[in-house]
């Protein structure tokens, strides 16, 4: 009995020491600049969000958040670096919707999308849309009628096999029961350019690169893949309103870290993220990029990504997409 009690006391003491040490670390954190990995080249949405968030949080934390762009291998280089970094709060990453997709469409992904990361907070998202050439269908039902009358004849441009712009199209095909053919481009930007030039009949980009083209009359947006209409295009119905259920897809962005990040540091980073997102300046800048700010709890963020991993796995399987 005495030996057992001694072991329990040792275990409790070790746990208490760990908690005290973690609290002390969080109180001093951060003591040096923080690396914020963006798994893409400069210039995209992840990079812009990382720089905005880094600047605001750096001021609040009293240390710089240094952007470290690590593109390559379909964004796996930056994600792998984050997964393998020390869980000390000095390496963070801007994650996005691709995080929940890569594991299904790429071979030998060197990390697990859930176990190998700490989830701090969702930052924002932007819904995907269905866009067509201005000379094309006037509304979603018209597009579906065209597609059903000539199966396999209409096509849509997308930013590479297995991209979110591809899988959104496949999800739409399943929900609407139509046969339209994906045409891969090196980026969704090139696919949108091809759509403007009438080289393809449709595309499923996210809202940010679409708004200006829509307002200028170069594209027509038929539906928004969200639960409610987008404030920047209030005249465009959601897929559900237009008669197609279950097409709710957004390109999300969130703050992530290596696995095992101490809870006190997670709490501190989450609090500063939420504060930064609540400022009028941040709301204005996100709105200018057609992004909706969404801050949630670490556990909510993790569950959302878990659900996304399962969802896209089913879409990839149904579409017969083979890992590359």
Is 120 found in the same domain as 254? Answer: yes
Integer angstrom CA distances of residue 140 from 105, 133, 202: 29, 13, 11
Is 212 found in the same domain as 166? Answer: yes
Residue 73 domain-assigned?
yes
pLDDT above 80: residue 5:
no
Residue 69 domain-assigned?
yes
Q: What global pTM score does this model have?
A: 0.88
Is 40 found in the same domain as 120? Answer: yes
Is 279 found in the same domain as 133? Answer: no
Residue 5 domain-assigned?
no
Average of per-residue pLDDT across 299-323: 96
For 280, the domain range is: 33-124+250-319
Q: Which of 224, 241, 275 is the last residue of a domain?
A: 224
Q: Are 273 and 121 in contact (CB under 8 A)?
A: yes
Average of per-residue pLDDT across 232-245: 96
Q: Are 215 and 143 in contact (CB under 8 A)?
A: no
Is 215 found in the same domain as 137? Answer: yes
* Residue 26 confidence (pLDDT): 67
pLDDT (tens digit per residue) in 127-175:
999 999 999 999 999 999 999 999 999 999 999 899 999 999 999 999 9
Is 98 found in the same domain as 44? Answer: yes
Residue 150 domain-assigned?
yes
Is 135 found in the same domain as 88? Answer: no
Residue 230 domain-assigned?
no
Is 133 found in the same domain as 120? Answer: no
Q: Spell 284-303 as b/e; 16+ CB within 10 A means b.
A: ebbeebbbbbbbbebeebbe
Total tally of structural domains belonging to the chain: 2
Is 134 found in the same domain as 116? Answer: no
Residue 292 domain-assigned?
yes
**Percent of the chain surpassing pLDDT 70:** 92
* CATH code of the domain in which 177 resides: 3.40.190.10
Is 105 found in the same domain as 150? Answer: no
Residue 237 domain-assigned?
no
User: What end-to-end distance do the CA atoms of the chain give, in Å?
Assistant: 59
Is 299 found in the same domain as 152? Answer: no
Is 137 found in the same domain as 116? Answer: no
Burial class (CB in 10 A: 0-12, 13-18, 19+), 157: buried
* CATH code of the domain in which 68 resides: 3.40.190.150
Band (pLDDT 50/70/90 cuts) for residue 8 is very low
Residue 200 domain-assigned?
yes
């Amino acid at each position: 009995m005495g030996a057992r009690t001694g072991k329990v006391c040792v275990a409790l003491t070790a746990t208490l020491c760990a908690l005290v040490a973690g609290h002390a670390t969080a109180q001093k954190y951060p003591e040096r600049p923080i690396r914020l990995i963006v798994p893409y080249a400069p210039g995209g949405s992840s990079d812009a969000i990382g720089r905005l968030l880094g600047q605001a949080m750096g001021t609040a934390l009293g240390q710089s958040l240094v952007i470290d762009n690590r593109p390559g291998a379909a964004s796996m280089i930056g994600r792998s670096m984050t997964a393998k970094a020390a869980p000390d709060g000095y390496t963070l990453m801007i994650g996005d919707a691709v995080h929940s997709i890569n594991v299904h469409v790429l071979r030998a992904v060197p990390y697990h999308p859930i176990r190998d990361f700490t989830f701090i907070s969702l930052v924002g998202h932007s819904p995907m849309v269905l866009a067509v050439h201005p000379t094309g269908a006037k509304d979603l039902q018209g597009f579906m009628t065209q597609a059903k009358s000539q199966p396999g004849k209409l096509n849509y441009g997308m930013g590479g096999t297995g991209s979110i712009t591809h899988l959104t199209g496949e999800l739409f095909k399943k929900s609407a029961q139509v046969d339209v053919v994906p045409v891969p481009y090196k980026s969704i930007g090139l696919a949108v350019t091809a759509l403007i030039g009438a080289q393809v009949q449709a595309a499923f980009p996210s809202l940010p690169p679409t708004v200006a083209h829509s307002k200028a009359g170069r594209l027509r947006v038929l539906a928004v893949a969200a639960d409610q209409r987008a404030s920047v295009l209030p005249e465009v119905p959601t897929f559900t309103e237009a008669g197609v259920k279950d097409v709710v897809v957004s390109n999300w962005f969130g703050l992530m870290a290596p696995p095992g990040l101490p809870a006190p540091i997670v709490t501190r980073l989450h609090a500063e993220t939420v504060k930064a997102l609540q400022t009028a300046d941040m709301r204005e800048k996100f709105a200018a990029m057609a992004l909706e700010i969404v801050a949630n709890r670490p556990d909510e963020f993790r569950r959302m990504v878990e659900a996304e991993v399962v969802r896209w796995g089913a879409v990839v399987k149904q579409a017969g997409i083979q890992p590359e």
